[in-house]
Amino acid sequence: MKVQKIAAFSDGDVGGNPAGVAICEVFPEAANMQGIAAQVGFSETAFAVPSGPRWRVRYFSPESEVPFCGHATIALGAALALRHGDGVFALTLNNAEITVEGRRSGDRVAAALQSPPTRSRPAAPAVVDEALALFGYTQGDLDPRIPPAVAHGGADHLVLALRSRAALAAMKYDLDAGRRLMNREGWVTILLAHAETAQRFHTRNPFASGGVYEDPATGAATAAFAGYLRDIAWPHQGAIDIVQGEDMGVPSRLRAEIPPEPGSSIRVSGTARLMES
């Protein structure tokens, strides 16, 4: 089986989050897909098979299947555009139906996904304290304008907004302890964010639930976060830009467009670059 390697949400010719993409006639057994994802070694590999006018898609990290992955969806959109030409592709996930758009431009592809519906809820104080302790943060490190929450845009993510860029840069945690916490709470990632301006954020995404210390670009968490900002009436002016991966040396850029309707889909876009196989 050929697995394409594509970096999603790249910063020009550098950075972005690598994903594997396997376009198949039929799905391999789940255990085989899990094994392929572990062998590829990226945080996510997307498997897609044709299903009438749609594509049926499943996502695997090196350790588990996840219901939705944004950067792997962007990579899939790029792969489908390269194979079938520019267009909008309808996708059926385990728990949702979405679309991804891919448009070629030289060695890169501009891609945009429409997330599943979003929702959010306040995070329980005891769980927030546990998450803060995981990273060595305190309540004083939090930005009170963006209270801790569990945000959903296809999968659940804990959102912790930090007052300072320095606190974000200092992020560190124990992978095994993070895995236990995330798996117990059902969080795919923890999204740590710092608001540089009302429309520009710096984020980091520990992904211990999938056996990955940190993701350099996370489209699903960005969609969930954008939906949460809408829920709290943040002055986003209809869109936010996300800078991610800088502290890893893997610069990534994401844009989230936020329509006014509560709970509606978020459009997350960026560029994808082909990697050497």
Q: DSSP character for 231?
A: H
Which pLDDT value is given to residue 116? 94
Which pLDDT value is given to residue 151? 98
Question: Structure tokens of 38?
Answer: 């572990």
- In terms of phi and psi (left: phi > 0; alpha: psi -120 to 50; beta: otherwise), the region of 268 is beta
Domain spanning 119-265, CATH architecture: Roll (3.10)
Give the closest residue to 147 by CA, choosing from 165, 116, 167, 124. 124
Q: DSSP character for 247?
A: G
Instruction: Write a three-state SS string for 62-103.
Output: CCCEECCCHHHHHHHHHHHHHHHCCEEEEEECCCCEEEEEEE
Asked if the domains at 4-114 and 119-265 fall in one CATH topology, the answer is: yes
Classify residue 111 as exposed, middle or buried by CB count within 10 Å of its CB (0-12, 13-18, 19+). Answer: buried
Which pLDDT value is given to residue 106? 72
Which pLDDT value is given to residue 105? 80
Question: Structure tokens of 154?
Answer: 């296809």
Q: Where are the domains of the chain?
A: 4-114, 119-265
Instruction: Write a three-state SS string for 96-136.
Output: CEEEEEEEEECCEEEEEEECCCCEEEECCHHHHHHHHHHHC
Which pLDDT value is given to residue 277? 59
d(CA 199, CA 207): 24
Domain spanning 4-114, CATH architecture: Roll (3.10)
Contacts for 229 with CB less than 8 Å, ≥ 6 apart: 146, 236, 240, 258
Q: DSSP character for 162?
A: B
CB-CB contact of 58 with 34 (8 Å): no
pLDDT tens, residue order, the chain (277 aa): 899 999 999 998 899 999 999 999 999 999 999 999 999 999 999 999 999 999 999 999 998 899 999 999 999 999 999 999 999 999 999 999 999 999 998 767 999 999 999 999 999 999 999 999 999 999 999 999 999 999 999 999 999 999 999 999 999 999 999 999 999 999 999 999 999 999 999 999 999 998 899 999 999 999 999 999 999 999 999 999 999 999 999 999 999 999 999 999 999 999 999 997 5
d(CA 187, CA 196): 25
pTM of the model: 0.93
What backbone phi and psi angles, to 5 degrees, belong to 215? -95, 135
d(CA 47, CA 147): 36
CB-CB contact of 274 with 1 (8 Å): no
Which pLDDT value is given to residue 156? 97
Neighbours of 87 (CB within 10 A): 13
